[in-house]
Structure 1
Amino acid sequence: MFRLGLTGSIGSGKSTTAAFFREAGIPVHDADATVHALYAGPAVALVEAAFPGTTREGKVDRAALSAVLRASPHRFPELEAIVHPLVRAAELAALDTAARLGHRLVVLDIPLLFETRAEQRCDAVLVVHVSPEEQARRVLARPGMSEALFHAILARQMPPAEKRRRAHAMIDTGLGLDAARRDVHALIRALASTIG
């Protein structure tokens, strides 16, 4: 089974691109969605133990956790040490399910793919990208987003140019939804001819 990593900087159109793969019948394992589920289940007690007061009513309070991490950014590795193994276990389960169902291609949607060295478990990596101006417009339109938070997130991510340099394939999502969908389908066809 061919594992295609999907990544891109915040606001680059990764979620939309993942949706086009799903639309085409390709299974996608979404690391962000997995974290959301973990924050309402298996990770709650572990996060509360490491970051007291960051859970409410059986769920991780993302705002409270973000406040702790903003005040103490050096503690990000502590959170990652809790969350990443749980996400990896969910990913392995998703890969197992896709293989059992006979899929030849699966997409691993991982925001910090290069930053966490997840490319080592992918057969190829697709990087989605967009102009810095469009990226800023998209991200700053999100509820609760500020310039300061946007720049803090960017500081934790590999520069887009370096992601593109490491990519096996790229899609510019700034060209519109139809163009991005066409590019996804073209990539699926190209991969199908490679993996049989």
Structure 2
Amino acid sequence: MTKPVIIGLTGSIGMGKSTVAAMFEDAGIPVFDADAEVRAMQGPDGELNPAIEAAFPGSTGPEGVNRDALGKLVFGDKNALARLEAIVHPSVGKKRMQFLADNEGAAIILFDIPLLFEGGGNESVDVVVVVSAPTDLQRERVLARPGMTEEKFEHILSLQTPDAEKRSRADFVIDTGTTFDETRAQVAAIINEIASSRV
């Protein structure tokens, strides 16, 4: 049986990656959302909560991980962030392997991975799709988010591979600085090109 083509979807904050991932899903492509898996594992009775609480006391409660409290403990502290990632990443990896097994009959599978290049995940996918938009639109979208500040935005950007570098390393770039219909058309074109290359 032919193995599915694995797309790695990524993009900097505010570029419209979640919207594009939903468009792939609407087109019938199975989507593995790494962030959604992490949120589930850190929610009420989440499987990661005991280990996170042990490493970062006071960061969890009845509702699961308190993202604000945990954020304050790891914000700007590379060692703390590395400790957190050592707890989270292996579990996400297991979920991803299970997702692959569950969808082995699909022609195309998409992994929605915000830090694809930063974590070296681009090495384990077949096709890299980068979602991008003009920087002024990106800034406008991000600063409209509740609780977002210029400082937080700049800090997040500093942790991410620059947009220009992502675009240069991509197999496909989706421009979300256009209408939804135009973005959806770009998604459809990528799916058609990948599907036709498998024939």
TM superposition score category, shorter chain reference: over 0.9
- Counterpart in the other structure of 1:180: 183
Deviation at 1:176, TM superposition (A): 1.7
**Which structure has more helix as a fraction of its residues?**
1
What per-residue deviation string (whole Å, max 9, x for no partner) do you get for residues 85-129 of structure 1?
111111111111111xx2110000000000000011100100000
**CA offset digits 1:7-39 (Å, max 9, x no partner):** 000000100000000110100000110110111
Tell me, yes or no, if structure 1 residue 155 matches structure 2 residue 158.
yes
Provide the residue aligned with 1:136 in structure 2. Answer: 139
| Larger deviation, residues 147-156 vs 67-76 | 67-76
Q: Offset of 1:195 from its aligned partner?
A: 1.6
**Distance in 2 between residues matched to 1:79 and 1:5, nearest whole Å:** 23
Give the distance between the partners of 2:93 and 2:76, measured in 1 at CA: 27
Counterpart mapping for 1:1-196 below 5 A: 1-40=4-43, 41-57=46-62, 59-70=64-75, 72-99=77-104, 102-196=105-199
Kindly provide the CA deviation profile for residues 163-188 of structure 1, in whole angstroms up to 9, marking residues without a partner as x: 11110111110012111100000100
Q: Which moved more, 1:68-77 or 1:13-22?
A: 68-77
* TM-score, with structure 1 as normaliser: 0.96
Output the amino acid matched with 2:81: F
Change over 3 Å in CA distance of 1:55–1:104 after alignment to 2:
same
Instruction: Report the Cα offset of residue 70 of structure 1.
Output: 2.0
User: 1:73 Cα shift?
Assistant: 4.1
Unpaired runs of at least 5, structure 2: none
Distance 2:48 2:20 in 1: 28
Equivalent position SS for 1:158: coil
Distance 1:164 1:22 in 2: 22
Q: Which secondary structure does the structure 2 equivalent of 1:6 belong to? A: strand
Q: In the alignment, is the contact (CA less than 8 A) between 1:44 and 1:58 conserved in 2?
A: no
Distance in 2 separating the partners of 1:139 and 1:71: 19
TM-score by length of 2: 0.95
| Cα separation, 2, equivalents of 1:98 and 1:67 | 37
